């Protein structure tokens, strides 16, 4: 089985895409913390439930951004193939 | 690589028609995103013209109690106004038209996945344009309200931070457009892989749950977040 240089580059791109998705850990932890504090806030003050939920969702969506950057890098490596 | 071309076609932007002219030396294609955007615009136009008739009827006899569609419409408008009031306060009326327009457009674009179309917001060309529109409106308000403060604020608190402040200004439209794009693209890819790769029995029932999460839930949340962040950025410069 012969490997050309391009095959090696494509294999390394796939490994890089997998490594880029490690960025998904951070947003997962952050969103979990936000959801936990949101739940405890609803427990303390059930009347403000809708305000708490919208604030929590906004914060979670912003925290998600770094993970999405990793996703974009992974997708570019897999499908756009910038290195060959 | 591992995917054959016809499976990748399920979630990639496809060219529908090649244009007979060239722009700056490169080929011009009519893409699926452009077609879907046109379709969504037509749907919104028809809806708006129909709803305008309802409002005109209601305005001509204000003593009649609202029914059906009018109730629904008032609920939506009040929710939008409440969303604006919570961030912009007294300035809501100046910006709520723009916010409402992009809200309806992004919401319908995100929901296009339910009809089997490729969501136009999963194309970076569309969301980057939305981000640029936000950038222009924010910087216009910045110069209009702060005059020279718009430039001097870049040198606060110390002039050393000028490059960081410039990057910070340009990162805003980039981050909100990338957030919307990546969220919708991940949904499109997951559903494209599910429809393209699995045997027939896995395509019954289960995709409905995926559609509810990726299109309905994620789409609605991202629409809300985009409009909310646009208003927050505008409010910073007032």
- Contact residues, chain A, for B2 at CB < 8 Å: 14
User: What is the reported pLDDT for B3?
Assistant: 46
pLDDT in tens, A33-76: 999 999 999 999 999 888 898 889 888 888 888 899 999 899 88
Instruction: For residues A28 and B186, give the distance between their C-alpha atoms in angstroms, rounded to a whole number.
Output: 16
* Band of residue A19 on the pLDDT scale cut at 50, 70, 90: very high
- Out of B8, B12, B178, closest to residue A72 by CB: B178
B1: in domain: no
pTM of the model: 0.86
pLDDT band at B2 (very low <50, low <70, confident <90, very high): very low
Lowest mean pLDDT among B72-76, B144-148, B193-197: B193-197
Q: What is the residue-averaged pLDDT of chain B?
A: 85
Closest CA to A19 of A82, A81, A77, A80: A77
Second-level CATH architecture of A28-79: Up-down Bundle (1.20)
The pLDDT of residue B41: 93
The string of pLDDT tens digits covering residues B147-178 is 888 788 888 788 888 888 889 889 989 999 99
Domain that includes residue B85, residue range: 7-236
Q: A61: nearest CA in chain B?
A: B225
Q: Is the pLDDT confidence value at B237 over 90?
A: no
Q: How far apart are CA B122 and CA B10, in angstroms?
A: 13
Instruction: Work out the percent of chain B whose per-residue pLDDT is above 70.
Output: 96
Q: Report yes or no on B50 lying in a domain.
A: yes
Q: Is B133 exposed, middle or buried (0-12, 13-18, 19+ CB in 10 A)?
A: middle
* Phi, psi (rounded to 5 degrees) for B158: -130, 150
Indicate whether B2 belongs to any domain. no
- Give the span between the Cα atoms of B23 and B21, in whole angstroms: 7
Best mutation target among A11, A21, A55, A61 (most B Cβ atoms within 10 Å) is A61
Question: What does the pLDDT read at residue B102?
Answer: 92
- Residue numbers in B near A71 (CB within 8 A): 182, 185-186
| Rounded distance between C-alpha atoms, residue A14 and residue B154, angstroms | 41
pLDDT greater at residue B34 or residue B196:
B34
Give me the pLDDT at residue B56, please: 87
Q: What is the DSSP string of B140-188?
A: HHHHHHHTTHHHHGGG-S-GGGHHHHHHHHHHHHHHHHHHHHHHHHHHH
Token pair in block for residue A7: 């095959």
- Other CB atoms closer than 10 Å to residue B51's CB: what's the count? 15
Residue with the bigger pLDDT between B8 and B85: it is B85
**Does residue B71 sit within a domain?**
yes
- Confirm whether B143 is domain-assigned: yes
Tell me how many domains chain B contains.
Answer: 1
Q: CA separation (Å) from B98 to A81, B34, B101, B207, B227?
A: 38, 21, 5, 34, 10
Q: Are B138 and B170 in contact (CB under 8 A)?
A: no
- The CA–CA distances, whole Å, from B23 to B20, B26, B27, B28 equal 10, 6, 7, 7
| Residue B150, domain member (yes or no) | yes
Give the best residue of B121, B182, B219, B222 to mutate against chain A (max A CB count within 10 A). Answer: B182
Q: Is ipTM > 0.95 here?
A: no
* Residue B71 burial by Cβ neighbours in a 10 Å radius (0-12, 13-18, 19+): exposed
Domain extents in chain A: 28-79
| Separation between Cα atoms, residue B78 and residue B88, nearest integer Å | 15
The pLDDT tens digits for B5-47 are: 556 666 777 777 777 787 887 888 888 888 889 999 999 999 9
Does residue B166 sit within a domain? yes
């Amino acid at each position: 089985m012969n490997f050309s240089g391009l095959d090696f580059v494509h294999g390394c791109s796939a490994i890089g895409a997998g490594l880029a998705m490690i960025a998904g850990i951070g947003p997962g932890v952050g969103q979990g913390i936000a959801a936990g504090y949101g739940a405890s806030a609803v427990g303390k003050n059930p009347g403000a439930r809708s305000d708490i939920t919208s604030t929590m969702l906004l914060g979670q969506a912003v925290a998600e951004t770094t993970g999405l950057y990793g996703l974009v890098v992974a997708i570019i490596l897999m499908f756009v193939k910038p290195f060959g | 690589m591992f995917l054959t071309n016809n499976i990748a076609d399920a979630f990639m932007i496809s060219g529908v028609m090649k244009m007979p002219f060239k722009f700056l030396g490169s080929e011009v294609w009519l893409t699926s995103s452009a077609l879907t955007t046109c379709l969504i615009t037509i749907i919104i136009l028809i809806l708006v013209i129909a709803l305008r008739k309802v409002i005109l009827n209601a305005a001509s006899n204000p003593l009649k109690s609202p029914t059906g569609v009018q109730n629904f419409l008032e609920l939506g408008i009040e929710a939008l106004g409440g969303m604006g009031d919570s961030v912009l306060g007294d300035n809501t009326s100046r910006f709520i038209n723009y916010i409402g327009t992009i809200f309806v457009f992004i919401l319908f674009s995100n929901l296009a996945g339910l009809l089997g179309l490729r969501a136009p917001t999963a194309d970076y060309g569309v969301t980057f344009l939305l981000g640029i529109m936000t950038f222009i409106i924010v910087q216009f308000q910045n110069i209009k309200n702060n005059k020279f403060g718009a430039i001097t604020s870049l040198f606060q608190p110390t002039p050393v931070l000028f490059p960081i402040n410039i990057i910070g200004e340009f990162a805003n439209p980039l981050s909100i457009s990338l957030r919307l794009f990546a969220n919708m693209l991940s949904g499109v890819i997951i559903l494209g892989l599910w429809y393209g790769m699995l045997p027939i029995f896995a395509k019954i029932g289960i995709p409905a749950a995926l559609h509810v999460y990726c299109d309905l839930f994620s789409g609605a949340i991202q629409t809300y977040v985009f409009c909310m962040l646009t208003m927050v950025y505008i409010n910073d410069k007032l």
